[in-house]
Chains A and B, each alone.
Chain A
Amino acid sequence: MEGFEVSQSETGGVSILCLKGYLDAHTAPDLENAIQRLVDKKTYEIVVNFTDLTYISSAGLGVFMGFIEDVRKNGGDIKLTNMKPKIYRVFDLLGFPTLYDILDEQQTAVDRFSKN
């Protein structure tokens, strides 16, 4: 079975979610729960690091669609970083780069929060 893991940490007051494995319709609820837990704690500055993510389907992208409005309304953002080309292509095909901050490096995303 292809698994999925999401781990949470904090850097400079920004919450970091690191994704690992396969994000599809089966595993998307795990990511949804992780972001929901942050939102419940009124944590709205979130960076999602994709370094160890091997696969994503639109069910995974849907999780980011579901939260972004709420997070931005509260002055925050969900920034996406460190995607492999194969993962970025899926976001790109669906037009996400015009609406989401997708960056090469996690630290750049963290810095961008502190500048705003």
Chain B
Amino acid sequence: MLTKPVNTLPKTQKKYQLKLPSQAGNLSIIRGLVTKVAAQVGLDADEASKIELAVDEACTNVIKHAYGNSQGQMLDILIKVEKNKLVIIVSDKGKGFNPSRVKTPDLSESIRAGKKGGLGICLMKTLMDKVDFEIKPGLKNQVRMIKYLT
């Protein structure tokens, strides 16, 4: 008798959500949760630290750029543990940006121009397996980062 393999595991096995005031002082709380979840799904300290940094960069972008450091705004972080991947979604309702216009930073040019930033998205893309953006300024902007669990 032939039986089809049945995936008995639900697609999302666990979800963790943080909703915090959009303040840089809360980055340590966010990093703490990310590191704990990464350890829980069996990632080593090195991989966990990459995810920790990528999420920090995404949240810092929201705090600084989407909300322009203004108080009273909220930052949403959703961590989904799926069968073979960790999905982290950072959402805001602030000022959006055009992801296609974000170029790989030229560090020497940035230094000459006196720029102190512009490195976050590059880092996120380097540290995670997949990063994509959904931008609807003022409604909902979302960065979705994936780390595959092998």
Chain A interface residues toward B at CB < 8 A: 1-2, 22, 24-26, 55, 57-59, 61-63, 65-66, 68-69, 86, 90, 93-96, 98-99
Would you give the 0/1 interface string for B105-140, flagging 1 where the beta carbon is closer than 8 Å to chain A? 101101110111101101100110000000000000
User: B123–A22 contact, CB under 8 A?
Assistant: no
User: B116–A62 contact, CB under 8 A?
Assistant: yes
Q: How many B residues have CB within 8 A of the partner chain?
A: 31
* 9 nearest CB pairs, A to B: A26-B24, A62-B116, A58-B119, A2-B28, A66-B116, A25-B24, A25-B60, A95-B107, A57-B56
Given A57-B60, A58-B117, A94-B107; A25-B122 close (CB under 8 Å) = no
Contact of B56 among A1, A24, A86, A99 (CB under 8 A): A24
B 23-79 contacts with A by CB, 8 A: 23-25, 27-28, 31, 46, 49, 52-53, 56-57, 60, 63-64
Classify the interface of chain A: helix, strand, loop or mixed.
Answer: helix
Residues in B neighbouring A58, C-beta threshold 8 A: 57, 60, 117, 119-120, 123
Residues in A neighbouring B119, C-beta threshold 8 A: 58, 61-62, 94
- Chain B's nearest CB lies how many Å from the CB of A74? 15
Classify the interface of chain B: helix, strand, loop or mixed.
Answer: helix
Residues in B neighbouring A68, C-beta threshold 8 A: 111
- Chain A's nearest CB lies how many Å from the CB of B71? 14
User: B63–A96 contact, CB under 8 A?
Assistant: no
Residues in A neighbouring B60, C-beta threshold 8 A: 24-25, 57-59
Chain B interface residues toward A at CB < 8 A: 23-25, 27-28, 31, 46, 49, 52-53, 56-57, 60, 63-64, 105, 107-108, 110-112, 114-117, 119-120, 122-123, 126-127
- Chain A's nearest CB lies how many Å from the CB of B9? 33
**A57 (CB) vs chain B CBs: closest residue:** B56
User: B117–A59 contact, CB under 8 A?
Assistant: yes
User: B56–A93 contact, CB under 8 A?
Assistant: no
User: B64–A25 contact, CB under 8 A?
Assistant: yes
Residues in A neighbouring B108, C-beta threshold 8 A: 99
